[in-house]
A and B are shown apart, each in its own frame.
Chain A
Amino acid sequence: MSTASTDLLPAPPSPVVGTRPRARRESRLIVPRRAGDPVVVAVVHLLCLGLVLLGARAEFLRNSIRLDEAQSLWQTNHSYGSLLRIIAEDVHVPLYHVLLRTWRLVLGPDVQTARLLSLVFLLAAVPVFYLVARKVLSTPWALFALVVFSCSPFLQWYGSEARMYSMLVLVTLVSQYCFLTVVTTGRRAAWIGYAAAAVVGIYTHYFFAFVLAAQGIYVLLMWRRLPRTAIVKIAGVAALVGAAYLPWFLYFRANGSASQTRPNLPEPSSVDFSNVYSQFLFGFQSDPINTVLVSAWPLLVLGALASVRVGVRLDRATAYLVVAAFVPVVLAFVVSHLVTPFFLSRYMIAALPALLLLLVRFTSTLTRPVARGLAAALLGVTVLGTVVQAANPDTPVDEDYRTAAQLVEDGATPQDVVVLSSSFTVYPFEYYYDGAARTATLPLWDREGPASAFDPARLPEQVASLTEGHQYVYLLLSYDQGYEEDVFQYFQQNFEQSASYEPSPGLRLLVYRVGYDELPPAGELAGVGG
């Protein structure tokens, strides 16, 4: 008898080379490379640009200036040299501010003009998002994703805020498009674009590093399947980014590493983590609405089950989207616990486009009626989120310093004093305020150098120095830095409160009588609110 060994398991074809067995319903897996009707694509692009403009003009551009915007304006009021120094002392990188200063010098200094720059970045992001979408989606689904992107409440918000976040989205999308191109085709132009986007990105926001980190993790996970030259080039881009960032890093260190200006943020909880994705999808919603939305998380289980489809594989581009949508947020969460807390949803806005694409990609793999229903629901929720975010007076991030300033102007006299706590809220307040009473901050701050730290032992002394000789104190409390309750309780226990207002969630204007030489002028405010 002759015997021979036989391998029970003939090696299956490699996913990269060789023939692949015919999978059932595989046609759904292939992203058609057809560009689609250019007229349709152009029309949908125009529609989306119109949606972005409509959203901006409808509500967001008319919002009151926010603290961060006031900082942007204050910082870009300085010369370029001073601007770089101020930014180095702050927790940001300078590219956006340099562009914003130039923009304001050319087009005008007001906040609406400053916001237009963000809007331009968001508009520019629209076609780039489509290009990225086409890497993973067919033309119809990519166009649908584009509509969702254009209606996104989170993007609408930051597309109309005088900050760098829409620019971060644009640079991230360029980086992602080039990255997905270089790992598949290795075209020279894509490599140049990828390297340029990486350098621009790292000078746009520190958190762009998480975008690069996600790409690095993806390369590590896929390194066996990627060409060796691609890996070497990516390492080269990493080195280039490091070299390009080095000058700023040294300058930043020389200016104190922002040790005095870091915001006082709490360690993120699991609720904060969930809120990031809730805000990405539904925008900034009031606590009751957000609680209901987040509580429905078990529906994700249904999504997981529905994703189990015959022949539906996780292709490389989609795998990258998974990494791009979650790794930056997870890394920020982990680093916030291990190093220092800096977990704010806007910092992670770079993960939002990938999340939207992932959702649409998932939807597109479902059976047609289910996919259509889910797509309609996704679009409906997105539009609804934008509308409610814009119209709901309880929207939590709506900082209405304009109304607060108007209330003070209407009631305060030269015998009164306006006290702002936290100190740096003086910037958005003074953007609108043109009243008779002088303004001061608590803790006291001369606006030169970093804001003073709060010292409870010195609170009575500082309050006494502020109130001496005045009749009324208009205390504006916002941006709690850990001592707002102490300040509030001190005033409550030591002075008579005559009025209170809450122009927007988390922003309280309280009027206290501190002197009794004249009749209370604040009585004029009685009919206004309180």
Chain B
Amino acid sequence: MSLAPGRSATSRPDTTGFLQYVPNRGFLVLNIVLAVAYTLVISFAFEHGNWFLFAALLATELFHLAQIVGYCWTVWGRDTTRLFDPHFSEPVDVFITVCGEPVDVVRETARAAKAMAYLVPFRVFLLNDGLVAGKEDWRDIEELADELDVTCITRVTPGGAKAGNINHALSRTHSPFFVVFDADHVPHRDFLTEVMGYFAADDMGFVQTPQFYANQDRNRITRVAWDQQTLFFGPIMSGKSRLDSAFMCGTNMAVRRSAIVEAGGMCEFNIAEDFLTSLFMHERGWKSVYVPKVLAEGLAPDDFLNYYKQQFRWTRGSLEVIFKYNPLLRRGLTTSQKLQYLLSASYYLSGSVILLDALLPIVFLLTGETPVVTSTMTLALVFVPYMWINLYVLQRTSNFAYSYQAIAFSLSAWWLQITAMAAVLTNRKTSFAVTSKTATDGARPNFLRLVVPQLVYAAVALVALLVGYAREGASASLMANVAWLTVHLAISVPFIVAASPSRAPRGALLVPASSPSPSAPAGRHRAPTRTTPSVEPALQPAHD
């Protein structure tokens, strides 16, 4: 385990900084102006080269422009005053979804849930999917429920994954409200008192709170996973809440039963069930609110495979929304909601865009073809300020909680996103042969198979560089494209390094192989973990 520089093992991660974004509209406007200027310059200022490449470049730039404008619009302001009743005391059920997580992890969450303060008594339920998922320890959860004096609802009929688990629990409970925690998300004592009062508004469908990773300093993966979350649970969700478009994130949320019943229950036919269920609820006129306070603390995916799977699920689920439930065509949504859902889902189209961008210098080096022909520095003078302002806006809006590693991981996920899109378009079901292993001696397991596309890109780039140099010599065009190539390769380095194996740090404690891992994957979806010694991981999409 490695800690972030300057941190001790006992230091607590900051739970407030990422939530304290103050919009600076001057920078947002400047960002949009420079983005538009850059797009116009690319489109009209230069002689066009190869028309196909130019069209590809223009498409990517328009995508970026739409994302930037959408982002600036989202974070333009924050949610303002909402109706809140501190004395709200309607009955509520607490659901803790469990599917094979270590019993100790579930115990901690259940105890914390029981300890939550509320004006009236409430019941805690362990929604045990261990049996239907074939987990060996499913009986342990039932014993844990007895031990803690909470109710265990064990499903015996599979289907619908986590959404099915919740729907099953809804059919056996009766309170007008329920809250959901993943098994590894430990609620604070004040969760209910901070959240339930928003249901004083009769049309409030659900309340979402941040998904905070308490183990963010465990290793590189947890840090990156958290850094990526800061942007989403900082400015983006606050902005979405302002536009009544905050959506459910699967855990740390409270929901009105009648609203979800009206929406047809938790959506069981999409891998991003929370996202789509939110859409259905908004479509029926229910409101949502995002409370920017850390009221529960969970665990980030702690190895590359779990991170990869989490991202794959989010990508696939979001893309399914675009291709199968296009928000623009949904009738009950407001225009803001349509655009917000589209923006969130379309982010995952960026894999194709990034690949196109990354291929342009290679195409030049191999063929000499370029999208635009320019001998001036005009492109640089427009692009460089635009890029810097764009990144500064990201930093400012995340209250300086975002990181290069987070960006590098996002940009390097192009293959993941492309394969997810292919799976959606071909309507293939995808599952993972779970072989993630926790290296118990502190070493990093080998996940290089997951970054083979990035390694292939690097190899092709090297060949292209040789071909380009043989043709051009050290020309200005060659230098510019080599510089671009360097940028793309440098961006993929953190991703590749995170997937590569490493030896255990010197002096690391040897942990018995049978010791349970202290961490479990978290996020909007659970991912089972096993604690056997490290073996080669595999990602195997299953086709049926």
Contact = CB atoms under 8 A, between A and B. Distances in A.
A297 interface: yes
A25 B78 contact: no
Interface of A: 1-9, 12-13, 21-25, 27-28, 269-271, 273-274, 291-292, 294-302, 304-314, 367
Contact of B84 (A4, A295, A296): A4
A367 B476 CA distance: 31
Given A8-B81, A25-B5, A296-B479, A3 B200 contact: yes
B14 A24 contact: yes
B395 interface: yes
Sort A-B residue pairs by CB-CB distance and give the 3 closest, nearest first.
Answer: A12-B20, A295-B479, A6-B84
B78 A5 contact: no
Given A4-B84, A292-B479, A305-B407, A21 B486 contact: no
Contacts of B395: 308, 312
Contacts of A1: 85, 87-88, 200
A260 B36 CA distance: 43
A304 B20 contact: no
B433 interface: no
Contact of B483 (A22, A269, A296, A311): A296
Nearest to A275: B377
Interface stretch (B380-388, B435-443, B505-513): B380-388
B16 interface: yes
Contact of B6 (A25, A297, A299): A25
Interface stretch (B156-164, B311-319, B397-405): B397-405
Contact of A8 (B4, B80, B479): B80
A9 B292 contact: yes
B376 A269 contact: yes
A5 B81 CA distance: 6
A5 B403 contact: no
B14 A21 contact: yes
Given A6-B197, A297-B380, A301-B387, A306 B404 contact: yes
Contacts of B377: 269-271, 273-274, 294, 297
Contact of A2 (B17, B82, B87, B238): B87
Contacts of A297: 377, 380, 384, 480, 483
B457 interface: no
Contacts of B289: 8
Given A2-B87, A21-B17, A295-B480, A8 B487 contact: no
A307 B404 CA distance: 7
16 contacts: A3-B85, A4-B85, A5-B83, A6-B197, A7-B81, A8-B290, A9-B78, A21-B17, A294-B377, A296-B482, A301-B383, A302-B487, A308-B394, A310-B400, A310-B403, A313-B400
Contact of A5 (B82, B391, B477): B82
A59 B482 CA distance: 34
B291 A8 contact: yes
A510 B438 CA distance: 79
B388 to A, nearest CB: 5
B372 interface: no
B449 interface: no
Given A3-B200, A292-B474, A296-B480, 19 more contacts: A4-B84, A5-B83, A8-B78, A8-B81, A9-B78, A12-B22, A24-B4, A24-B14, A273-B381, A295-B483, A296-B482, A297-B380, A298-B483, A298-B486, A299-B483, A308-B394, A310-B402, A312-B400, A367-B5
Contacts, number: 159
Main secondary structure on A side of the interface with B: loop
Contact of B85 (A2, A291, A304): A2
Nearest to B489: A302
Contacts of A7: 80-81
Contact of B238 (A9, A23, A274): A9
Interface of B: 4-7, 13-14, 16-17, 20-22, 78-88, 197, 200, 227, 238, 241, 289-292, 376-378, 380-381, 383-384, 387-388, 391-392, 394-395, 399-404, 406-408, 474, 476-477, 479-480, 482-484, 486-487, 490-491
Contacts of B381: 270, 273-274
A305 B404 contact: yes
Given A2-B87, A3-B200, A312-B400, A270 B391 contact: no
A302 B6 CA distance: 25
Contacts of B22: 12
A297 B381 CA distance: 10
Given A9-B238, A269-B376, A309 B78 contact: no
A302 B227 contact: no
Contacts of B399: 12
Contact of B388 (A3, A23, A304): A304
Contacts of B480: 295-298
B391 to A, nearest CB: 5
A23 B87 contact: no
Contacts of A311: 400-401
Nearest to A9: B78
B85 A310 contact: no
B402 A298 contact: no
Nearest to A294: B377
B476 A292 contact: yes
Given A2-B85, A292-B476, A298 B17 contact: no
B82 A6 contact: yes
Given A2-B85, A295-B480, A298-B487, A25 B4 contact: yes
Contacts of B83: 3, 5
Contacts of A291: 476, 479
Which of A274, A301, A306, A310 gathers the greatest number of chain B CB atoms within 10 Å? A310
Contacts of A314: 392
Contacts of A270: 376-378, 380-381
A301 B407 CA distance: 13
Contacts of A306: 404
Nearest to B361: A298
B81 A6 contact: yes
A9 to B, nearest CB: 5
Contacts of A304: 384, 387-388, 391
B78 A302 contact: no
B491 to A, nearest CB: 7
B292 A298 contact: no
Nearest to A297: B380
A6 to B, nearest CB: 4
B46 to A, nearest CB: 12
Which of A4, A6, A8 gathers the greatest number of chain B CB atoms within 10 Å? A8
Contacts of B484: 298
Contact of B487 (A12, A294, A301): A301
Contacts of B391: 304-305, 307-308
A3 B84 contact: yes
A8 B80 CA distance: 6
Contacts of B290: 8
A373 to B, nearest CB: 12
B16 A21 contact: yes
A8 B13 contact: no
A173 to B, nearest CB: 25
A6 B83 CA distance: 7
A367 B404 CA distance: 11
Nearest to B289: A8
A305 B378 CA distance: 21
